[in-house]
Amino acid sequence: MSSTAKQPASSSYQHVESRSVMSQRERIFTLTFRFTIIGIAIFFALYPVIYVISAAFNPLGTLSTRSLIPQGIDEFSDLFTNFRTLLVDEIEIFPFWNWLFNSILVATISTTLSVLVCALAAYSFSRFRFNGRRSLLLGILLIQVFPNLLSFVALFLMLQQIGRLADVIPQALPFLSFIDWGFLRLFGLDSLGGLILVYLGGAMGINTWLMKGFFDTIPRDIDESAMVDGATHDQTFWMLIFPLVRPILAVVGVLSFVGTFNEFVLARFLLRDNDNFTLMVGLFSFVSAEFSQNWGKFAAGSLIAATPIVIVYLLLQDQIVGGLTQGAVKG
């Protein structure tokens, strides 16, 4: 996977081009043109990020865009004031590593489950024709665009109820008390399990659509020939389709990982205890006070937080662009 040149699908475009009549000069021109564009794009993408980095090293905690060089630095170690406060001085009060661990845990689990569940639904939408299919498809997308301002109240009460069942069930049904119903609290209020549950509903409609669109582009010949060979739907899905759609699974994976990792509106409402916070909830508390925002700590935390996201992307990038469609068609 490491060498991109071996990937037939991504090279197809290029492959075609090289066959057309194109002088060496033209090629150089095209490449220069592309690199100029790439240069501009990278500048556009990264310039604002430089300010975030600058803020992270600015001991005054302001989000200054006046100068890139952090102010208030008397000696070298001042550069790391925010990092030091975040990771050393206040670690007892604001358990940064706990937050980071919680975020990674929540994002990983909800992403994995969400990708699986969406893939199953997308397969069905793509491969089966049944009554109400289109309405159902439309329905799950439409319901997701409901501007749900009050959902946090409903979700709060729901998780609270689930957590309460841990006490209610053993009381109401004493003969069942041989089971430790306390595990329900793992999905109650102020729990990461509950948060994962809530995130699972999050972008399911859109992700299903996205996958379904991708599944549609995979020729039906593939599964039909497998079915003729006597494979069940389950086998076809897991052994043939699943590997084929890896790019889109990776895309959806990255999207939901980033989405859940950076989510804080719901999490802020559902999590209470400092130790249970996700990273964004924890960091956001540094800037949510009206007159005393500490952007320095926020920026420093964001930079550390961006690392897992970039790592996840790097890991999945080969999956995303290393398409296997070519091989699949041959198979």
Partner 1 sequence: MNRNKLLLVAVLLMVLAVSSLAPVFAQDDALVIWADGRRAPILQGLAEDFEAEFGIPVEIQQVELGDVRDQLLVAGPAGEGPDIGIIPHDHVGLLVRNGAIVPFDLSEFEGQFLESALALFTFEGQVWGLPYAQENVAFVRNVDLVPEAQTTWEQVAATSAELVESGASQYGFVMQTGDAYHAFPIISAFGGYIFGLNDDSTFNTSDIGWNSEGGLAAAQWMADMYAAGLMTPSWDTTALQEAFNAGDVAMFVTGPWQSNALLESGINFSIDPIPGAEGVSEAGSPFSGGQGFIISAFSDKQLLAESFLYEYVATDEVMQQLFETEGRIPAWTSVDTSAFPTVESFIAAGANAIPMPAIPEMGAVWSAAGNSQTLISTGEDAAASFNDAAEQIATAIEGLAAPIETVTLVGSLQDEAGCPAEWDPACEVTVMTDDGGGQWSITVTLPAGDYEWKVALNGTWDRSYPGANVALSLTEETEVTFRYNSNTNGVQDSVNNPESFGG
Partner 2 sequence: MSAIASKARPPQGDLAFSKDQGNIVVIALRYLALMIVDAFALILIYGFLEDQNLGLALILGVITVGANIFVLVPSLFPIKWMTPGLMLITLLVIYPVFYTVLTAFTNRADGHILNKSQVVDLLGQQRYVPEGAQLYEWTLYRSEDGTYALWLTGDDGNVAFAPAGAPIIEVESPPEEAPPTYEGYTQLTRAERTQALTEIQNLVFGEGEDTAGIQGRSQAARPLESRYVYDEERDALIDQSTGTAYIADNQEGLFRAERGSEVLQPGYQVNVGFRNFERLVNDPGLRGPLLQVFVWTVTFALLSVLTTFAVGLFMALILNDNAIPGRKIIRSLLIIPYAIPGVIAIGVWRGMLNENLGIIGAGLGSGIGWQTDPWGVKFGILLINLWLGYPYMMLISSGALQAIPSEVYEAAAVDGATPVQRFWRITLPLLLITMGPLLIASFTYNFNNFLIIEAYNAGNPPIPGTNTPAGYSDILISYTYRLAFGAGRGADYGYAAAITIIIFAIVAIITLMQFRLTRRWEEAGANV
158-187 residues in contact with partner 1 (CB under 8 A) are 160, 183, 185-186
Structure tokens at 275: 């130790």
Pick one of partner 1, partner 2, none as the site partner of residue 176 (Cβ within 5 to 8 A by kind): partner 2
Pick one of partner 1, partner 2, none as the site partner of residue 225 (Cβ within 5 to 8 A by kind): none
Residue with Cβ nearer partner 1 (60 or 255): 60
Contact flag: residue 151 with partner 1 (CB under 8 A): no
Pick one of partner 2, partner 1, none as the site partner of residue 28 (Cβ within 5 to 8 A by kind): none
Contact flag: residue 112 with partner 1 (CB under 8 A): yes
Task: Please give the radius of gyration of the chain, using alpha carbons only, rounded to the nearest integer.
Answer: 25
For the CB of residue 136, give the shortest distance to partner 2 in the complex, in Å.
8
Residue with Cβ nearer partner 1 (129 or 290): 290
Residue with Cβ nearer partner 1 (6 or 272): 272
CA-to-CA distance for 287 and 66, rounded, in angstroms? 20
CA-to-CA distance for 211 and 247, rounded, in angstroms? 10
DSSP labels for 212-263? HHHHHTS-HHHHHHHHHTT--HHHIIIIIIHHHTHHHHHHHHHHHHHHHHH-
Residue with Cβ nearer partner 1 (207 or 294): 294
CA-to-CA distance for 261 and 258, rounded, in angstroms? 5
For the CB of residue 75, give the shortest distance to partner 2 in the complex, in Å.
26
Within positions 216 to 245, which residues make up the interface with partner 1, using CB under 8 A?
Answer: 238-239, 242-243
Residue with Cβ nearer partner 2 (93 or 149): 149
Q: Which helix (H) or strand (E) holds 150?
A: none
Q: Which residue type does 34 have?
A: R
User: What is the distance between the terminal CA atoms of the chain, rounded to a whole angstrom?
Assistant: 19
Q: Of how many residues is the chain composed?
A: 331
Phi-psi region of 272 (alpha: psi -120 to 50; beta: other; left: phi over 0): alpha
For the CB of residue 314, give the shortest distance to partner 2 in the complex, in Å.
6
Residue with Cβ nearer partner 1 (127 or 185): 185
Angstrom CA distances, 179 to 133, 169, 176, stand at 40, 10, 6
Contact flag: residue 62 with partner 1 (CB under 8 A): yes
Contact flag: residue 30 with partner 1 (CB under 8 A): no
Contact flag: residue 127 with partner 1 (CB under 8 A): no
Region from 33-41, 104-112, 122-130, 319-327 binding partner 1, contact rule CB under 8 A = 104-112
CA-to-CA distance for 114 and 101, rounded, in angstroms? 20
CA-to-CA distance for 147 and 267, rounded, in angstroms? 18
Contact flag: residue 58 with partner 1 (CB under 8 A): no
CA-to-CA distance for 238 and 234, rounded, in angstroms? 6
Structure tokens at 156: 């709060």
Residues 53, 307: contact at Cβ < 8 Å? no
Binding residues (CB under 8 A) for partner 1: these are 60, 62-64, 66, 71-72, 90, 93-94, 102, 105, 108-109, 112-113, 116, 153, 156-157, 160, 183, 185-186, 189-193, 196, 238-239, 242-243, 268-269, 272-277, 285-286, 288-292
